[in-house]
Amino acid sequence: MVLVSELKAGTTIRLDDKLWRVLEVIRHAGSGQMQGFIELKLKDLEFGHLSDRRFKTTDKVEEIELQKKQMEYLYSTDTECVFMDPETFEQASLPKTAVGKQEKFLSDGLKVMIELLNEIPVSIQFPKIIEIKVASTGPGIKEAQDNTMKPAILENGIELLVPQFIETGDKIRVDTEKIKYVDRVTIKRV
C-alpha cells in the first residue's frame, strides 16, 4: 500500500478489483476548514474507460508492479490481438478493448511493450511515434501557405491532415496517441 499523495503519472494501481493506470495526479490544497485532497485521473486497463477519483491525502491504495516484455505483433482475431516473444516464440493475446483505438497502428512485426501481471498480459504500450506510408492524398496547392493542411489516407486506413508538400507514397511520422502528423521521413541518399 502506498499513500495517494506519493503516486505519479504512469503508476498502476488496484481499485475495486480493477487495474487502473494513473494518467494525472492533481493536488488540491486545503483552505480554512476545508481539507486538501488528491484527484486522480485514471484509465481502466481492461476496457480503456476513464475515471476521476478524489482521495484524502492520507488515503492509501495498492500499487501494482507490472513486468514489461517487448513483443512483436502477429495478427488479430474478432476479439483479441496476438503477440509473440521474439526470444522464446511464446504467444500472448490481449483483448481488443485493452488495445483501444491504437489497434489500427498494429502491423506485422511491430515491436511493442506488453505489460504483464503474473505472466498474464494486461496492457500495451505503443511507441509514441510511428512511421507509416501515405496511401493516398490530393495534390498540394502551389500558392498555399506552409501551415495549410490537406487530408490524407494512410496505409492502415486512418485519415488525418498533412501539410501540402506530402505526396502519395511518402513515409511520415504520426503521433499514435493524438493520431496527428508529426513530420516527413527523409530518405538519406548515398
Q: Tell me what pLDDT residue 189 has.
A: 58
Q: What is the mean pLDDT of each run of 10 residues along the chain (190 residues)?
A: 86 88 85 82 84 88 89 90 89 85 82 87 85 86 72 88 88 87 77
> What CA–CA distance (Å, rounded) separates 35 from 160?
46
CA-CA-CA-CA torsion for 109, 111, 116, 122, nearest 10 degrees?
-70
Q: For the chain, what are the domain ranges?
A: 2-64, 67-125, 129-184
Confidence at residue 52, expressed as pLDDT on a 0 to 100 scale = 92
Question: 129-184 belongs to which homologous superfamily?
Answer: Nucleic acid-binding proteins (2.40.50.140)
Partners of 132 in beta bridges: 172
CB-CB contact of 61 with 1 (8 Å): yes
Longest dimension (CA), the chain: 70
Alpha helices in the chain (DSSP H): 96-99
- pTM reported for the whole predicted model: 0.68
pLDDT score recorded for residue 190: 57
Let me know: does 1 contact 55? Beta carbons within 8 Å.
no
pLDDT at residue 146, as a whole number: 62
CATH architecture of the domain formed by 67-125: Beta Barrel (2.40)
Question: How far out from the chain centre does Cα 152 lie?
Answer: 22
Was domain 2-64 assigned CATH 2.30.30.30?
Answer: yes
Same fold: 2-64 with 129-184 = no
